[in-house]
Amino acid sequence: MEVDLGVLVVAILQAAVRSGTPILFVCIGEIYAERSGVLNVGLEGMMLVGAIAGFTAGFTVGNPVVGVIVAAAAGAAFSLIHAFVTITLRADQIVSGLTLTILGTGISGFFGKAMIGQVGPGFDKFAVPGLAKIPVLGTVFFQQDAMVYLSYVVVPIAWWVMYKTHLGLAIRSVGESPATADSLGVSVTRIRYGCVLFGGAMAGVGGAYLSLAYTTMWIEQMSGGRGWITLALVIFAGWNPARAALGAYLFGGADALQLRIQAVGLDIPTYFLMMLPYVLTITILVLASRASLRRRLGAPAALGIPYAREER
């Protein structure tokens, strides 16, 4: 019995990493966009566009890698709308982001009609030689699919660029004080466009994870609120790419746990279990808000504010 419990816990942790991975990609992208001062609440829409574009490409070509690349391109192209409307035209970032979600939901549903019921190519799990042999951790982290391994590379790079390079410094300064950054010769517009597009590409990849690895099919509105959950995790992570991994796996754990409890058939109504990831996210957000009230740790100072050089 004891052995069984151990196996169960490892299986849940392994599933937690899997469930957390799509959110992790999206979270890294949004951290960059927000660090540069642009809030994009259109994550849900960009994920859906990525999911359908990636699935369609992967299905047509028969290769999931092509799918992921197309998903990144589609996500970036889609986020260009938000970048143009909020950076160049200085419109309200929240309204534009909401509209992006609505548009993405509509467009993905429209083009997805033809793909409903199709089974596409997917990423299979494979063990990383050597590392997979480590007890517990090996199974949890190194018996996964290629996209999970990709996230292990993306997170440290994203952290390193943000904190250890000139580019990262420029991004952070544009988000904190665009006027100062501008006076030092940093192009606010270019940095912000770049970060929003990167955010779109990552949201596209996160969406593609859902349609090419987590499942191998397209389901309308399959992101199921993960874009909004990510927005909460960005706050929880304190806009730090490394802490984003912690938040993503925590959410993934809740998701994996509720699925597992459903499968075991414990006497808890299914629909209450399905609420768990959403309720947990709200709880995390409440805790993060309390902490930031106490420590005055907050968002980038210029987050949400359009930059107009002539009006500073």
Partner 1 sequence: MAIRLERRLERSRQLEYLVPVLSVLLSLVVCAFLLLANGNNPLVAYGAMMKEAFGTSYGFAEVLVKATPLILCGLGVMLAFKMLFWNIGAEGQLHMGAWGATAVVMTGWEGSGWLMIPAMMIAGMACGALWALIPAYLKVKLNCNEIITTLLLNYVAILWVAHFIYGPWKDPVSFGFPMTKLFPEGAQLMRFGDSRVHLGFVFALIIALILYLLQEKSRWGFEVAVTGGNPKAAEYAGMSTGRNILLVMIISGGLAGLAGMVEISGIQLKLLKDISPHAAPYGYTAIIIAWLARRNPWGVLLVSILMGGLYVGGETVQITMKLPVNIVLIIQALILFFVLGGDILARYRVVFSRPREALGGG
Distance CA 25, CA 247 (A): 12
| DSSP bridge pairs for 126 | 144
CB 29 within 8 A of CB 82: no
Where would I find the beta strands (DSSP E) of 146-295? none
Distance CA 140, CA 51 (A): 25
Scanning residues 138 to 167, which ones bind partner 1 (CB under 8 A)? none
Which listed residue (132, 228, 259, 305) binds partner 1 by CB under 8 A? 228
Interface stretch with partner 1, choices 133-141, 142-150, 157-165, 270-278 (CB under 8 A): 270-278
Contact status: 272 vs partner 1 (CB under 8 A):
yes
Contact status: 68 vs partner 1 (CB under 8 A):
no
Distance CA 265, CA 139 (A): 25
Contact status: 271 vs partner 1 (CB under 8 A):
yes
* Residue 221, C-beta contacts closer than 8 angstroms, at least 6 positions apart: 48, 105, 108, 109
Interface stretch with partner 1, choices 108-116, 156-164, 169-177, 193-201 (CB under 8 A): 108-116
Going 171 to 176 to 182 to 184, the CA torsion angle's sign is negative
> If you compute the radius of gyration of the chain from its CA atoms, what whole number of angstroms results?
20
Contact status: 301 vs partner 1 (CB under 8 A):
no
Interface stretch with partner 1, choices 27-35, 122-130, 139-147, 222-230 (CB under 8 A): 222-230
Contact status: 60 vs partner 1 (CB under 8 A):
no
Burial 266-279 (b: 16+ CB within 10 A, else e): eeeeeeebeebbbe
Contact status: 290 vs partner 1 (CB under 8 A):
yes
CB 242 within 8 A of CB 42: no
- Total residues belonging to the chain: 312
Q: Considering beta carbons, is residue 2 or 310 the nearer one to partner 1?
A: 310
| DSSP bridge pairs for 144 | 126
Which listed residue (11, 98, 146, 259) binds partner 1 by CB under 8 A? 98
| DSSP bridge pairs for 145 | 125
Which listed residue (215, 224, 246, 261) binds partner 1 by CB under 8 A? 224
What are the percentages of helix, strand and coil residues in the chain, rounded to 5? 75, 0, 20
Contact status: 281 vs partner 1 (CB under 8 A):
yes
Interface stretch with partner 1, choices 48-56, 99-107, 194-202, 241-249 (CB under 8 A): 99-107
Scanning residues 75 to 94, which ones bind partner 1 (CB under 8 A)? 81, 85, 88-92, 94
The contact set with partner 1 (CB under 8 A) reads 41, 81, 85, 88-92, 94-96, 98-100, 102-103, 105-107, 109-110, 113, 182, 185, 221, 224-225, 228-229, 231-232, 235, 269-272, 274-275, 278-279, 281-282, 285-286, 289-290, 292-293, 308-312
